[in-house]
Chains A and B, each alone.
Chain A
Amino acid sequence: MNPTDLVQTAVSGLANGALYAFVGLSFSLVSRSTGLINFAQGDLTMLGGMLTAVMTEATVPLFIAVPLAALICAAISGGFYYFAIRPSTRATMSQLVIITVGLSILIRGAVTSIWGTDPRQVPPFTAGGPIAVGGVSILPQQLWLIGLLAVVAIATTWFFRRTVLGLALRASSGNALGASFVGIDNRVLGLFAFAAAGFLGGLVGAVWSPIAYAQVDIGVGLGIKGFTGAMLGGLHTAYGPLVGGVLLGIFEAFTAGYVSSHYEDALIFALLILALLLRPQGLLGGANSTTQDERPEQILSTSVRATTFGRRDFIGIAIGIAVLGLIGAVLPGVWVSNAIFAGIEAMAVIGLVLLTGFAGQLSLGQAAFMMIGAYASAYLTVRSGWPPILALMVGAALSVVVALALGRIIFRLRGFYLSMASLGLLMIALTFAREWYGITGGPSGFVGIGAFSLFGFDLGSDTAVYYTVATFVVISLLFGMSIARSRIGRALLAIRSSESAARACGVDVVGLKMRIFAFSAATASVGGSLYGHYLSIVNPSPFGLDATIQQLTAVTVGGFLSLWGALAGSLLTVALPQLIGWVSGSVASQFIAGIDYIIFGLLLIGIVMTQSNPALHRFRMRLSHRGTGAAVDAKESVRAP
């Protein structure tokens, strides 16, 4: 092992780690004061770099451009809190996360339509090439980044120890209710935290971009890495995000340089899962620092209409089947196709409604089970010549086995820790899909998968595929409903409200979570199998983070506790981009790139705000009360302050 290379690898790991540390710190600020994860944090970092690049291209001097970029990001982030998050007082955590997903999409759409998709360079703060010290080279800009990180670390310490606002933040993050009793306004803290996180994000974007570049799509990846680092170090500790980010950067560099760049992602996320299991409070989290157990889902109760499987459900299902049947017969071709993709997605979303909506377990790994189903079907039908239905069933069984095995590990975790662990599993699964050439065909995957068939009947036409998918969707819905409307469904809701209370009432918490996880894995897997047969190709790219976010969006838009909503949400996420593109492409003479992202982002934010705005909620409740005449449980939910 060459010592120069060793030091070189450490240096680049350190510099990259400084970036992750910065991003992680912004996550931590927001999370400590509001309990929220701001998914758009990475995009704010990207925006900071982009703004600096654009301004310097317009010959604005750097010393003006950099602070201005950071301030603009602060204004966007703070404004977003003020106008979108603060009024959504009825929103659950997951809904609020989806609002920030909306912001992320909105930022990317706006950047695309204003400045395009080209990469841009930001000039380094000091001129001159890399500094070479005995064969190890370091960029002056990397020193700037590391130096700034040191300054920010000191400033943060001072802020949290010496200022009223900082102390208030710490008090609120320790006990929000208690803090509000002594006169701390949590909403002011939220506004401050979002603005400060926006500022930090924009600043680090401007300082780091000269090392790499600014481009619209790099934000999401930065966000994931920064958040991972913060989780490693301890999201709710003062130095955790800094230490975790730097460690992640160094670990990443050594993995890529000395172990295998092919398995880098898998190793990083395996480390994360291990760390979460061993020290969920993070490396720097003390024994009594805030951990998962003290942070229940903030909404204590949500109104659920029926709790037993009754006449209403039968009528609903009958109407639903009739509508689904009719749709296939009357819709023009392209919309049937939209409905097929929506149905396939709904298979994953139905399971997610039970897992996330009912049981409150925010899983980001659902796409992995779709992938297992898709690959099992592809492998068994293409390589082994099995009948599709058998391959589909084997895929589902495999998914259940995997879910039961992994569930045992990850359901020791709760809240965002569980989310990160499940995301980690997805990343590991994707790595294996890309690298196990013999089984998966590598990144190119399988091509030429035949149409779905049953007992020798080829079901290849769009209409046939539609009815096949619809049948599977209805079966899953029935299963889902019978779970949701039973003792199990009520137990799941109990778990969501309070795990300890549920356990005290005799609910087998772990066992139930496992069963629901297995159910959601099975339905997602069937969806994946159908996807492979419909598209005729399977490769890793449709099963990444984008897919997971899309499914989560569908759950949110559909209303979390509604299985029919799962269908509506899936249809919206699949068909809306098409509808927007179709209308905007025809109306505007020149297709404006990014306009579909802007509209989609705004709609997403709007939908969740409408769902969770108390005034609008009361209005809706009145409407449905008047409409059905049924007794509506409009119990106001209380958000733990």
Chain B
Amino acid sequence: MTKSWMLLAAAIFSVLGAVAARAQDATEFKVGYVASITGLIAPITKYYMDGLDAGIKMVNESGGVGGLPVSVVKCDSQSNEAQAVLCTKRLIEQDKVNMLMGVGGTAPTVAIEPTVQAAGIPLFAIAAGRISYAPLKKWVFKAIIGNDDQVPTVVKFLKKKGCIKVALIRDNTAFGNDSAKSIKEEAARDGVEIVADEVYTPTDTDITAQLTRIRGLNPQAVINYAVGIGVGGLISKEMVQLGMKQPSFVGMNQQIVGYAVNAGPEGTAQTFFVAAKVASAADLPKDDPLYGPISTFTKYFKELHPDETPNSNSPTAVDALLIAQAAGKAIGKKVLDREALRDAIEHVTNLAGLQGFWTFTPEQHWSSLEAGAQIVTYDGKTWAPAN
């Protein structure tokens, strides 16, 4: 009895010892990733992480960050605010990371920011909501194509197509709410009328009642903003089932094959996706200013995931690394000094990332990525820009 307890204790201590030994390694640039590996945001996080693998390889084979190889430590926030804060503290204090990114969800990202600010470590906010990076927070930087970039892209496209009577269906989460707010504001500016704002819970599995109501209003288009990637496609499928022929517009997080699987061929055919340029990498002209980084990234991605095509969510966690790399070019090994790293990030100018051009200043920790956002369609094989 005593013996087995001692063995168990020895095993636990050796594991903890191994962990501690790992944590002391300082010959690399460590990035902590507070990731929503389980829970509501998990399905999309998988795509972030697949892209991140390729991003790490891409950065390491082009000199790493400040000459140091990059490694990423992940911690599962379970799509939950308290666990996200605990992950942040763990990554800072025990894994001793040099930089942070996360969380994939506006509310948990905002929740970890006080901790990040107090610890003084750069954080790249992987969240679509503007409040995750603005107004200026000393240590927080924008990292992805957000609602600010996506919504104008959608509304301009609607306007161009002459759709001025549009219905909105979205979930009742903070994501759905923030998106609805931006969409309504932007639509009001551009003279597009939002005739319905229907909601559902992300775990709902039947949205036909809301869609039937929308059908009765006969809008010219439907904006379908969902945080869950199952339900986004389901709505499209149910629209087909109800005989609704309107085009529907979905957010960037839905630009994945899983959407097409759920929506079925007809539903997919009438869907317009907001997308990053990576999505249509094959069609990207060589003179596009983002051609270089995107084609390199695509190459690494194909190497690591031969069965997958990179989508708009693949570069989400990669641009942060490219920005750090650019900052490292200026300060070398001083990237390990958080203060120096932040200052260097604040002076990154016109960097061609995968999602657009990054320019930061001490006064502004965000750039407009609207130029990197586009509308694409999917024919079951390839994603192509829509005109």
Where the two chains meet, the residues of A that have a C-beta atom closer than 8 Å to any C-beta of B are: 2, 5, 8-9, 12-13, 15-16, 19, 108-109, 112, 116-121, 130, 132, 135, 137, 139, 211-213, 215-218, 220-222, 252-258, 261-262, 264-265, 332-334, 337-338, 341, 434, 442-445, 447, 531, 535-537, 539, 541-542, 546, 574, 577-578, 581-583, 585-587, 591, 593-594, 596-597
Contact A112/B42 with A536-B111, A537-B81, A593-B37 known, Cβ cut-off 8 Å? yes
Is B241 part of the binding interface, using a Cβ–Cβ cutoff of 8 Å?
yes
Of the A-B pairs whose beta carbons lie under 8 Å apart in the complex, a sample of 26, sorted by A's number, is A9-B208, A19-B205, A108-B38, A117-B42, A130-B240, A217-B42, A220-B203, A221-B204, A253-B208, A256-B198, A256-B213, A257-B212, A261-B198, A261-B209, A262-B172, A265-B201, A334-B94, A341-B82, A341-B86, A444-B131, A445-B174, A539-B174, A541-B173, A582-B94, A587-B18, A593-B46
- On whether the beta carbons of B86 and A338 are closer than 8 Å, the reply is yes
Cα(A445)–Cα(B15), bound, Å = 41
- On whether the beta carbons of A334 and B242 are closer than 8 Å, the reply is no
Cα(A558)–Cα(B262), bound, Å = 43
- Of B228-236, B272-280, B322-330, B349-357, which binds chain A? B228-236
- On whether the beta carbons of A118 and B43 are closer than 8 Å, the reply is yes
Contact A116/B233 with A334-B89, A444-B177 known, Cβ cut-off 8 Å? no
Contact A221/B203 with A137-B241, A213-B233, A333-B93 known, Cβ cut-off 8 Å? yes
Q: How far is the CB of A572 from chain B (nearest CB, A)?
A: 14
Give the residues in chain B near A582, CB-CB below 8 Å: 19, 75, 90, 94
Is B306 part of the binding interface, using a Cβ–Cβ cutoff of 8 Å?
no
Give the residue of B18, B46, B203, B209 whose beta carbon is less than 8 angstroms from that of A118: B46
Cα(A8)–Cα(B18), bound, Å = 61
In B170-217, which residues have CB < 8 Å from any A CB?
A: 172-174, 176-178, 198-201, 203-206, 208-210, 212-213, 215-216
Residues 6-22 of chain B, each 1 if its beta carbon lies under 8 Å from chain A, else 0: 00000000011011001
Interface centre among A109, A139, A332, A434 (most CB of B within 10 A): A434
Cα(A541)–Cα(B202), bound, Å = 12
- On whether the beta carbons of B205 and A218 are closer than 8 Å, the reply is yes
Q: Number of B interface residues, CB 8 Å? A: 70
- On whether the beta carbons of A12 and B212 are closer than 8 Å, the reply is yes
Is B80 part of the binding interface, using a Cβ–Cβ cutoff of 8 Å?
yes
- On whether the beta carbons of A5 and B107 are closer than 8 Å, the reply is no
Is B28 part of the binding interface, using a Cβ–Cβ cutoff of 8 Å?
no
Q: How far is the CB of B135 from chain A (nearest CB, A)?
A: 10
Cα(A531)–Cα(B131), bound, Å = 20
Is B40 part of the binding interface, using a Cβ–Cβ cutoff of 8 Å?
yes
Q: How far is the CB of B224 from chain A (nearest CB, A)?
A: 14
Give the residues in chain B near A338, CB-CB below 8 Å: 86
Q: Which residue of B lies closest to A341 (CB)?
A: B82
Cα(A582)–Cα(B205), bound, Å = 34
In B54-86, which residues have CB < 8 Å from any A CB?
A: 73-76, 78, 80-83, 85-86
- On whether the beta carbons of A257 and B233 are closer than 8 Å, the reply is no
Given A137-B241, A212-B206, A334-B86, 9 extra CB contacts under 8 A: A9-B209, A116-B46, A120-B261, A215-B230, A220-B203, A445-B107, A577-B78, A581-B87, A593-B42
- On whether the beta carbons of B205 and A212 are closer than 8 Å, the reply is yes
Residues 128-164 of chain B, each 1 if its beta carbon lies under 8 Å from chain A, else 0: 0101000000000000000000000000000000000
- On whether the beta carbons of B42 and A12 are closer than 8 Å, the reply is no
- On whether the beta carbons of A444 and B209 are closer than 8 Å, the reply is no
Give the residues in chain A near B87, CB-CB below 8 Å: 578, 581
Residues 77-121 of chain B, each 1 if its beta carbon lies under 8 Å from chain A, else 0: 010111101110110111000000000001100110110000000
In B1-57, which residues have CB < 8 Å from any A CB?
A: 15-16, 18-19, 22, 37-40, 42-43, 45-46
Is B258 part of the binding interface, using a Cβ–Cβ cutoff of 8 Å?
yes
In B259-300, which residues have CB < 8 Å from any A CB?
A: 261-262
- On whether the beta carbons of A256 and B209 are closer than 8 Å, the reply is yes
Cα(A119)–Cα(B111), bound, Å = 28
Interface centre among A213, A216, A255, A542 (most CB of B within 10 A): A213
Give the residues in chain A near B131, CB-CB below 8 Å: 444, 447
Give the residue of B38, B74, B85, B261 whose beta carbon is less than 8 angstroms from that of A121: B261
Q: How far is the CB of A227 from chain B (nearest CB, A)?
A: 15
Interface centre among B42, B210, B212 (most CB of A within 10 A): B212
Where the two chains meet, the residues of B that have a C-beta atom closer than 8 Å to any C-beta of A are: 15-16, 18-19, 22, 37-40, 42-43, 45-46, 73-76, 78, 80-83, 85-87, 89-90, 92-94, 106-107, 110-111, 113-114, 129, 131, 172-174, 176-178, 198-201, 203-206, 208-210, 212-213, 215-216, 229-230, 233-234, 240-243, 258, 261-262
Q: How far is the CB of B245 from chain A (nearest CB, A)?
A: 13
Q: Which residue of A lies closest to B107 (CB)?
A: A539
- On whether the beta carbons of A587 and B46 are closer than 8 Å, the reply is no
Give the residues in chain B near A120, CB-CB below 8 Å: 261
Contact A217/B114 with A119-B233, A257-B212 known, Cβ cut-off 8 Å? no
- On whether the beta carbons of B78 and A8 are closer than 8 Å, the reply is no
Give the residues in chain A near B19, CB-CB below 8 Å: 582-583, 586-587
Give the residues in chain B near A332, CB-CB below 8 Å: 93-94
Contact A337/B209 with A443-B176, A585-B73, A593-B42 known, Cβ cut-off 8 Å? no
Q: How far is the CB of A537 from chain B (nearest CB, A)?
A: 5
Give the residues in chain A near B129, CB-CB below 8 Å: 444
Give the residues in chain A near B107, CB-CB below 8 Å: 444-445, 537, 539, 541
- On whether the beta carbons of A434 and B172 are closer than 8 Å, the reply is yes
- On whether the beta carbons of B241 and A591 are closer than 8 Å, the reply is no
Cα(A175)–Cα(B82), bound, Å = 46
- On whether the beta carbons of A578 and B114 are closer than 8 Å, the reply is no
- On whether the beta carbons of B233 and A221 are closer than 8 Å, the reply is no
Cα(A373)–Cα(B85), bound, Å = 20
- On whether the beta carbons of A333 and B230 are closer than 8 Å, the reply is no
Contact A591/B76 with A212-B206, A537-B107, A586-B18 known, Cβ cut-off 8 Å? yes
Cα(A334)–Cα(B91), bound, Å = 9
- On whether the beta carbons of A442 and B212 are closer than 8 Å, the reply is no
Q: How far is the CB of B312 from chain A (nearest CB, A)?
A: 16
Give the residue of B18, B40, B45, B89 whose beta carbon is less than 8 angstroms from that of A217: B40
Contact A119/B230 with A253-B208, A586-B18 known, Cβ cut-off 8 Å? yes
Interface centre among A116, A221, A334 (most CB of B within 10 A): A334
Cα(A578)–Cα(B87), bound, Å = 7
Give the residue of A121, A262, A577 whose beta carbon is less than 8 angstroms from that of B199: A262
Q: How far is the CB of B317 from chain A (nearest CB, A)?
A: 14
Q: How far is the CB of B136 from chain A (nearest CB, A)?
A: 14
Q: How far is the CB of B192 from chain A (nearest CB, A)?
A: 21
Give the residues in chain A near B174, CB-CB below 8 Å: 443-445, 539, 541
Give the residues in chain A near B46, CB-CB below 8 Å: 116-118, 593
